A and B are shown apart, each in its own frame.
Chain A
Amino acid sequence: MKRVDYFFKGIKIDPNEKFISNEKIVSVNNSEIKEEINQIKNNLFPIINPVKVITLKSGEYHLTQIIDKDKTFKNIRIIIKENSKVKLYDFTKSTYSDKNMHFSNIEIIIEKESKVYYLKIDEFKNETIYSNTEIEVEENAQVDVDLIGFNQGKTFNNFKINLRGKHAVGNFKAIAIANQGTENLYEVAINNYAPLTKGDIWQKAVATNKGSNQLFTTGFIAPKCSKAENYQESRVLLLDDAANGDVSPILLIEHHDVLAGHAAGVSRVNSDELYYLMSRGITKHEAEKLITLAFVRPLIDSLPTEELQESTLLKVNSFLNN
Chain B
Amino acid sequence: MKQLIIKDLHVEIEGKKILKGVNLTIKSGEIHAIMGPNGTGKSTLAAVIMGDQKYTVTAGEIHLDSENILELEVDQRARLGLFLAMQYPAAISGITNSDFIRSAISAQGKNDESLIKYIRRLENNIGELKMQRDMANRYLNEGFSGGEKKRNEILQMKMLKPNFAILDEIDSGLDIDALTVVGQNLTEEISNRSSELGLLMITHYQRLLDYIHPTHVHVMLDGRIVESGDANLAKKLETDGYEKLKDKYGITEIEEEENKRVSIGSCATAVGVGASNEKS
Stretch at the interface among A54-62, A132-140, A258-266: A258-266
User: Does the CB pair A235–B273 fall under 8 Å?
Assistant: yes
Contacts of A17 in B (CB 8 A): 274
Taking a contact as CB atoms closer than 8 A, the residue among B78, B84, B103, B274 that contacts A265 in the complex is: B274
Within 8 A of A (CB), among B129-180: 139, 156, 160
Interface size on B, residues (CB 8 A): 40
Chain B residue nearest in CB terms to A9: B268
Contacts of A13 in B (CB 8 A): 264-265
User: Does the CB pair B92–A280 fall under 8 Å?
Assistant: no
Taking a contact as CB atoms closer than 8 A, the residue among A202, A262, A273, A295 that contacts B90 in the complex is: A273
**Alpha-carbon gap, A15 to B276, bound state (A):** 10
Interface size on A, residues (CB 8 A): 46
Confirm or deny: B181 has a beta carbon within 8 angstroms of a beta carbon on chain A: no
**26 A-B contact pairs sorted by A residue (CB < 8 Å):** A12-B266, A12-B267, A13-B264, A235-B272, A263-B272, A265-B267, A267-B272, A270-B90, A270-B273, A270-B274, A273-B92, A276-B89, A277-B103, A278-B78, A279-B78, A279-B83, A279-B84, A280-B83, A280-B156, A280-B160, A281-B75, A286-B103, A291-B95, A294-B92, A294-B93, A294-B139
User: Does the CB pair B272–A275 fall under 8 Å?
Assistant: no
Confirm or deny: B52 has a beta carbon within 8 angstroms of a beta carbon on chain A: yes
Contacts of A265 in B (CB 8 A): 267, 272, 274-275
Taking a contact as CB atoms closer than 8 A, the residue among B78, B268, B276 that contacts A231 in the complex is: B268
Confirm or deny: A40 has a beta carbon within 8 angstroms of a beta carbon on chain B: no
Taking a contact as CB atoms closer than 8 A, the residue among B90, B103, B275 that contacts A275 in the complex is: B90
Within 8 A of B (CB), among A1-53: 9-10, 12-17
Question: Would you call the interface of chain A mostly helix, strand, loop, or mixed?
Answer: mixed
Chain B residue nearest in CB terms to A7: B268
Contacts of B272 in A (CB 8 A): 12, 14, 204, 233, 235, 263, 265, 267, 295
Given contacts A12-B266, A14-B274, 18 further A-B contacts (CB under 8 A): A9-B267, A12-B274, A12-B275, A233-B270, A237-B274, A261-B268, A263-B272, A265-B267, A267-B274, A275-B53, A276-B90, A277-B104, A279-B50, A279-B75, A281-B79, A281-B104, A294-B139, A295-B272
**Closest CB-CB distance, B213 to chain A, in whole Å?**
27
Confirm or deny: B212 has a beta carbon within 8 angstroms of a beta carbon on chain A: no
User: Does the CB pair A15–B84 fall under 8 Å?
Assistant: no
Contact A291 B84, CB 8 Å, known A275-B74, A281-B104: no
**Closest CB-CB distance, B52 to chain A, in whole Å?**
6
User: Does the CB pair A268–B104 fall under 8 Å?
Assistant: no
- Contact residues of B with A, CB < 8 Å? 50-53, 73-75, 78-79, 83-84, 86, 89-90, 92-95, 99-101, 103-104, 107-108, 139, 156, 160, 264-270, 272-276
Contacts of B264 in A (CB 8 A): 13, 15
- Contact residues of A with B, CB < 8 Å? 9-10, 12-17, 202, 204, 231-233, 235, 237, 261-263, 265, 267-273, 275-284, 286-287, 290-291, 293-298
Contacts of B267 in A (CB 8 A): 9, 12, 263, 265
Contacts of B268 in A (CB 8 A): 9-10, 12, 231, 233, 261-263
**Alpha-carbon gap, A9 to B265, bound state (A):** 10
User: Does the CB pair A281–B274 fall under 8 Å?
Assistant: no
User: Does the CB pair B274–A282 fall under 8 Å?
Assistant: no
**Closest CB-CB distance, B269 to chain A, in whole Å?**
4
Contacts of B95 in A (CB 8 A): 290-291, 293-294, 297
